[in-house]
Amino acid sequence: AQTVTQSQPEMSVQEAETVTLSCTYDTSESDYYLFWYKQPPSRQMILVIRQEAYKQQNATENRFSVNFQKAAKSFSLKISDSQLGDAAMYFCAYRSPRGTASKLTFGTGTRLQVTL
């Protein structure tokens, strides 16, 4: 079974600064998908960024980028120019490519605080 580990329960960053959230995972599969989701106090899980394991190039979405190290099974999220609206719970997630309805396995989450 796949497992996802987020070792930082809480992180804090000043507005306009850069922060990196860590995620490691364990799997025996060679092909899979990785995601970062954001959950603000409004509760809705919002997809931030996705990475396909067969792609070596790191995904980027505006101020959000990942550092995907497949051999090390590491998938960290970098948030640049942090904004107050980035404050939320961030979950790293893994998904097997098998089947349309494969499950999403979440890490335990990292709560990000953004200070002035």
Partner 1 sequence: DTEVTQTPKHLVMGMTNKKSLKCEQHMGHRAMYWYKQKAKKPPELMFVYSYEKLSINESVPSRFSPECPNSSLLNLHLHALQPEDSALYLCASSSGTGIGYTFGSGTRLTVV
Residues forming contacts to partner 1 in the complex (CB under 8 A) are 33, 35, 37, 42-47, 50, 52, 89, 91, 93, 95-104, 106-109
Write down the least CB distance from residue 16 to partner 1, Å: 28
For residue 72, the minimal CB distance to partner 1 (Å) is 22
Give least dist CB 55 to partner 1, A. 10
Burial of 41 (0-12, 13-18, 19+ CB in 10 A): exposed
- Count CA within 13 A, CB hemisphere, residue 89: 14
Q: Which is nearer to partner 1, 1 or 116 (CB)?
A: 1
Task: Calculate ∠ Cα 3-4-6, nearest 5°.
Answer: 145
- Judged by beta carbon, residue 67 or residue 89, the one nearer partner 1 is 89
Relative to beta strand 60-61, strand 64-69 is antiparallel
Per the structure block, which two tokens stand in for 17?
A: 């600064």
* Rounded CA separation 76/67 (Å): 5
Select 16 or 99, whichever has its Cβ closest to partner 1.
99
Nearest distance from residue 48's CB to partner 1, in Å? 10
Between 14 and 102, name the residue whose CB sits nearer to partner 1: 102
